[in-house]
């Protein structure tokens, strides 16, 4: 007997699953509004504090912080303005510096 796929119409869609991951991540407890801060250095500092304070990391604090930042940028996609995207991309370099790593392209 052929296997029948369950209809996706029957399953309720999970609204804003990426927001839930950002808020309830097992790896990091993010400070409120971290991705809306105006200063890339402050965004990076906040992510660093969260990563270093976490007791649940399976990777290094740098990797966890960078992963969360990349996840947010990728999930926001076209919803980010050019200014916001530039600010968050700049925060990546600031995060590298705070963890003693070279900026991108250095």
Hey, where are the domains in the chain? Answer: 29-98
Distance (Å, rounded) from C-alpha 46 to C-alpha 53? 11
Q: Is the pTM of this model over 0.85?
A: no
Mean pLDDT for the stretch of residues 10-20? 61
Sign of the CA dihedral with 99 first, then 86, 72, and 31 last:
positive
Kindly state the percentage of the chain with pLDDT values over 70: 75
Query: Among all chains, which residue has been given the structure tokens 């200063």?
Result: 39
Query: pLDDT, tens digit, for every residue of 21-73?
Result: 656 656 677 888 999 999 999 999 999 999 999 888 788 999 999 999 999 99
Distance (Å, rounded) from C-alpha 87 to C-alpha 32? 17
Whole-angstrom CA distances from 103 to 8, 80, 86, 97 are 44, 23, 15, 6
Distance (Å, rounded) from C-alpha 33 to C-alpha 45? 13
């Amino acid at each position: 007997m052929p296997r029948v796929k369950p209809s996706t119409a029957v399953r309720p869609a999970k609204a804003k699953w990426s927001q839930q991951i950002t808020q309830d991540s097992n790896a990091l407890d993010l400070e409120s509004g971290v991705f809306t801060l105006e200063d890339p250095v402050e965004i990076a500092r906040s992510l660093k504090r969260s990563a270093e304070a976490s007791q649940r990391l399976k990777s290094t604090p740098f990797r966890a912080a960078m992963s969360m930042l990349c996840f947010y940028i990728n999930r926001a996609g076209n919803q980010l303005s050019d200014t916001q995207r530039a600010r968050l991309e700049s925060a990546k370099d600031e995060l590298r510096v705070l963890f003693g790593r070279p900026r991108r392209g250095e």
